[in-house]
Structure 1
Amino acid sequence: MNDPARSWWGWGRRHDALSDAECVELAHLLPGLAEAPLPVPDVSDLHLPAPRLRAPTSLEHLCSADPADRAAHTFGQAYRDVVRALYGQLSTPPDLVAYPRGELHIVELLDWAMSNSIAVIPYGGGSSVVGGVEYRGGDHRGTLSLDLSALGEVLEVDPVNRAARIQAGAFGPALEDQLRPHGYTLRHFPQSFEFSTLGGWLATRAAGHYATLHTHIDDFVESLRVLTPAGTAESLRLPSSGAGPSPDRMFLGSEGTLGVITEAWMRVQDRPRYTASTPVSFAAFGDALEAVRAIAQSGLHPSNCRLLDPGEALLSGAAGGGESVLVLGFESAHFPVDEQLAHAVELAGEHGGRQRSSGGSEDDAVRSWRSAFLRMPYQRDGLARMSAIVETFETSCTWDRALGLYEAIQQELGAAVTGITGATPTINCRLTHVYPDGPAPYFTVIVPGRRGSEVAQWDEIKAAAGEILHSHRASITHHHAVGRDHRPWYDRQRPELFASVLRAAKHTLDPHGILNPGVLVD
């Protein structure tokens, strides 16, 4: 039932993964790595625990105990997931993977699970990088991975209200293909777009690559339909409402622990006809931050406003002279955007920015960044096979703390990583999203690891990064979600009174505690 073209252990499609030779070539950029890549295990060589469950006869046709299905649904796509898969360390795979083809199937599966103390892990594309789809133990009799990929249709398009009713299992490309004949787009393109689903975006409050204005999936939600062990919750379709706390907000970001999102009415957009982009270079990163703040507060709302620090610009091929690069872009379905781009470039120039092209069409630096952005997860996997430790984490903070946070990560985390690994790390940063009151910095840490101890070293680095973010009053995540990896810092970030309310909601909606246990609340 699982897509045979997908990699069971790493990112994306098998034929797009780096070859052994490409892994070795990439490792030449980082002295101190292993001489040969870790081999990719064949599923047939894995020693998975025997399934503890057998579906009742009425549900057998929906469930699979095939080792390939179980292996592919054990982990998400965090670095520690990839490394454990490479070592064949799959000690807690789901006992069964269920592929419901309608809401009635989901109800029947939840009823069976509730009656038999079976943990249910809702699963979209499996692209979680925070342990969001991994069962990590408990007192359940077994684990069922609930794969919603068969529910992938755009069910209705409403041109009067410019909205569409879409099933939660729709993967990004299929969703856009179904909207295209109507002249619409959802306009939500996370880096995981090809391998993630609408339901996953909603459950994790995902952010797309549009850097300003409508950044999170929340901005496009008109109403949600959610199945819970206690019943069905469906909100009223409205453009906005002041009637109490929003029911949609309770399920947005709930990460499968309060209910299973099955469909949503989403606001769609006219497809863009006009685009313009250009890179702008800065000698000093601090000046670049001030320029981005000015643009974010200008009301121009660029679709792309990605600031790359010198290391990130070098890694992506956008620049190589120690400069920071701001990738600016605008788009519209209704009017040319060259004037908006010119205004943004002018604001950048007031803070020392130097435009590197005349604007309009995409130049080499912009193309290099875009290509590197899409290829990055495959390169992460290649480095993992060479026993490099690659940690990525993102956050958000107010503008007055942005430069201080950036410098703290470089210095404090750099020292911590050196203490953990004995090597000097590469630490790069880019701003993925910007708001009038603050940016969302995204950091990448790359350092040679010790073969056989990569996961333990990654865990220490993750903990050090989390503590620095907390001490600087920055969010533990901007768009990667909480999952299980971010729980310690999420528990400290949220008000305890809210945690009590969340636990009460969990108890009401999921009284037997079967839905994605360990995520958000205990």
Structure 2
Amino acid sequence: MVTHMKWWGWGKESVSFSPSDKPDLAPFIRTHIGLDITRLPAQPPAFADLTIADPVLPEPLRAALVDAAGAEHVTTDAQARVVHAYGKSLRDLVRVRNHDLGRLPDVVVYPGDEEAVRAVLAAALAADAVVIPFGGGTNISGSLEAPRTETRPVISVDLGRLDRVLEIDADARLARVQAGALGPGLEEQLAAQGWTLGHFPDSFAHSTLGGWIATRSSGMQSDKYGDIAEITRAVRVVTPAGVLVTRPVPSQSTGPSVREMILGSEGRLGIITEATVQVHRVPEQRVILGYFFPTWDAALLAMREIAASEAAPTVTRVSDANETRFSFATRKRGSLASSLVSAGMKQYLRRVRRYDLDQMCLSFIGFEGSPAHVKAQRKLVGAIVARRGGICVGTGPGQLYDQKKFDTPYIRDFLLGQGAMADVSETSTSWSQLGPLYRGVVARANKAFAEIGVTGWIMCHLSHSYHSGACLYFTFAYASPVTLEAIDGYDTVKSAIQQGFIEHAGTLSHHHAVGVEHARWLADDISPAGVRLLTALFDGIDPGRNLNPGKIVPGVDVAPGLADSAGPDSAGPDSVSPAGSDPR
């Protein structure tokens, strides 16, 4: 049986965030965004109160889907349709709390193998229906929702039954895995044979291998294992032209990379059914250490020097001063983190280390391998940290990091219930641009807060270090009524941050994909010629726009405000379609 997240929010129904054991959090939130979180939160809507449109499913199409997947795996159940209608972006959750469900899929299909996927797609194309592949439903870029104006039948193809590790080639260190495997199940199957994929995105507990590939995901340990584009060595994809199969060779010279075309394709080219991925032996030792740096600039220099050194950590993450203060505010009473901000530690940092505690930054750096390797790596990193005025504060913060690393989305749901908008935007840029981009984005966000008349909070961390640069991950929050009208203010802040990325040589997204949320900046990021290439690719394989239409290339409205907010220079499908094509 395929299980799903709660229809109105993130994660399991039985799990939620509570501030009751975090004594510093309520004062922190009150001080910085003017919100009282000690009151009872607003409850999500009752499902029975939603207005669910009847499905549009012609009988011949329904019969063909039943023939393909089996009657028990084809459903028009109202809650299944709502669960599959959208992802978990802030926009999605605000809308669902206000009974605005958009264009629901008409039917959800759970194929059990690749042949069933082929039959489902063939039936959909014959009926001129829309097909939207669905993994775990964690997407926050609007990649799962059908256009509101869509009048054709919409089919959500849930890959959850395709969840097995099929084969491991120990010599090549490759595994064949079905695309619907969720993170925990995938790691459990690999670990049973002594292997790991090493891919742990924030959404790990509820996202799938196919979803990672379709959105070019990155994981918390990508410094060592690579992001999903590096991990994925071959794919199988059901397309309108047949089953696309690439070979898991180390490298090849066969024209433009077809494998790369599938990475980040968000269902526009077909349905991913299987991938061959790199795997690694479970490391003998794993250690994540905490470090303090006196300033954000010192921390950035240290991360850059670590990337340029012989050190090879698995995790390099550092929070700016604002995120560091927030992290300490979320610590539990009597927890490991409490000792890090004890009176004695503060006195030592101020008097001996000459830290300004308001500027101090917390970092996590991880190491894996044999004990000798870990020891050598720690020594290399320790010397760099010391040169930049940092100090190691032991394994306690690392244990805290491991405990909390998948919990952040639950905090957002809690804040929504209290009357606060909280969201994230991430980018990557070169080491030389990290400082200017960070300062420019923070300035833009604060200007946007003032423009909409709120007291806002923005914080950031660096993660995913590369040879030439790194990812910067921003989180912002402010008090606001959780209404449809309030989305306009959210768009003002989100757009300011995204525009800051473009103006300071960053990409529109490092690992959250394009979807519709980020599509308006696509031409700025990859140039109008790049958009033309993508449009030609999508139109070439899917001239009827049956495969997840409106994603990546801008121009088709999905949620209110997205298409309208595109600037006059944005390159929509009509402006980039090849001569003689028929844009729809």
- Paired residues for 1:89-108 under 5 Å: 89-108=100-119
Q: What 5-or-longer segments of structure 1 have no aligned partner?
A: none
The aligned counterpart of 2:278 is: 267
Residue by residue over 1:267-323, the C-alpha shift from the partner in whole angstroms, topping out at 9 and shown as x without a partner, is 110001112332221111111111110001113121011011122122223665331
**2:81 maps to amino acid:** R
**1:239 maps to amino acid:** P
Distance 1:334 1:277, change over 3 A: closer
- Paired residues for 1:217-228 under 5 Å: 217-228=228-239
1:190 to 192, 198, 201: 201
The percentage of counterpart residues that share the same residue type is: 34
Matched, 1:455 2:487: yes
Deviation for aligned residue 1:143: 1.2
**1:37 maps to amino acid:** P
**1:372 maps to amino acid:** K
TM-score, normalised by the number of residues in structure 2: 0.84
The aligned counterpart of 2:16 is: 17
Is the contact between residue 43 and residue 67 of structure 1 (CA under 8 Å) also seen in structure 2? no
2:287 to 268, 271, 276: 276
- Partner of 1:14: helix, strand, or coil? coil
**2:14 maps to amino acid:** H
Deviates more, 1:258-267 or 1:501-510: 501-510
The aligned counterpart of 2:416 is: 384
Residue by residue over 1:447-496, the C-alpha shift from the partner in whole angstroms, topping out at 9 and shown as x without a partner, is 11134233222122111111111111211100111111000012321122
- Paired residues for 1:220-299 under 5 Å: 220-299=231-310
Deviation for aligned residue 1:140: 4.1
**2:399 maps to amino acid:** R
Is the contact between residue 257 and residue 517 of structure 1 (CA under 8 Å) also seen in structure 2? yes
Measure, in 1, the Cα distance between the counterparts of 2:191 and 2:19.
Answer: 38
Distance 1:73 1:24, change over 3 A: farther
The aligned counterpart of 1:438 is: 469
Is the contact between residue 64 and residue 120 of structure 2 (CA under 8 Å) also seen in structure 1? no
Aligned residues: 515
- Partner of 1:512: helix, strand, or coil? coil
- Partner of 1:479: helix, strand, or coil? coil
Measure, in 1, the Cα distance between the counterparts of 2:84 and 2:56.
Answer: 16
The aligned counterpart of 1:338 is: 375
Distance 1:232 1:148, change over 3 A: same
Is the contact between residue 288 and residue 399 of structure 2 (CA under 8 Å) also seen in structure 1? no
Measure, in 2, the Cα distance between the counterparts of 1:95 and 1:25.
Answer: 46
The aligned counterpart of 1:351 is: 388
Is the contact between residue 283 and residue 324 of structure 1 (CA under 8 Å) also seen in structure 2? yes
**1:16 maps to amino acid:** V
The aligned counterpart of 1:501 is: 533
Matched, 1:429 2:449: no
The aligned counterpart of 1:45 is: 49
Deviation for aligned residue 1:20: 10
1:414 to 446, 460, 479: 446
Measure, in 1, the Cα distance between the counterparts of 2:248 and 2:95.
Answer: 43
The aligned counterpart of 1:325 is: 362
Residue by residue over 1:308-343, the C-alpha shift from the partner in whole angstroms, topping out at 9 and shown as x without a partner, is 112212222366533102211110168541111111
RMSD between superposed Cα atoms in Å: 2.2
Is the contact between residue 65 and residue 123 of structure 2 (CA under 8 Å) also seen in structure 1? no
Matched, 1:489 2:521: yes
Is the contact between residue 316 and residue 368 of structure 1 (CA under 8 Å) also seen in structure 2? no
Measure, in 2, the Cα distance between the counterparts of 1:50 and 1:177.
Answer: 40
**2:29 maps to amino acid:** L
Is the contact between residue 522 and residue 531 of structure 2 (CA under 8 Å) also seen in structure 1? no
Deviates more, 1:319-328 or 1:301-310: 319-328
Measure, in 2, the Cα distance between the counterparts of 1:276 and 1:104.
Answer: 44
The aligned counterpart of 2:558 is: none
Deviation for aligned residue 1:28: 5.6
TM-score, normalised by the number of residues in structure 1: 0.94
Matched, 1:65 2:76: yes
Q: What 5-or-longer segments of structure 2 have no aligned partner?
A: 329-336, 342-356, 554-572, 574-584
Deviation for aligned residue 1:211: 4.5
Measure, in 2, the Cα distance between the counterparts of 1:234 and 1:106.
Answer: 15
Distance 1:58 1:136, change over 3 A: closer
**2:405 maps to amino acid:** F
Deviates more, 1:271-280 or 1:475-484: 271-280
Distance 1:353 1:27, change over 3 A: closer
Is the contact between residue 270 and residue 333 of structure 1 (CA under 8 Å) also seen in structure 2? no
Deviation for aligned residue 1:19: 6.4
**1:42 maps to amino acid:** A
Deviates more, 1:29-38 or 1:327-336: 29-38
- Paired residues for 1:52-201 under 5 Å: 52-54=56-58, 55-60=61-66, 61=71, 62-201=73-212
Residue by residue over 1:33-67, the C-alpha shift from the partner in whole angstroms, topping out at 9 and shown as x without a partner, is 47552321232221111111144324231321111
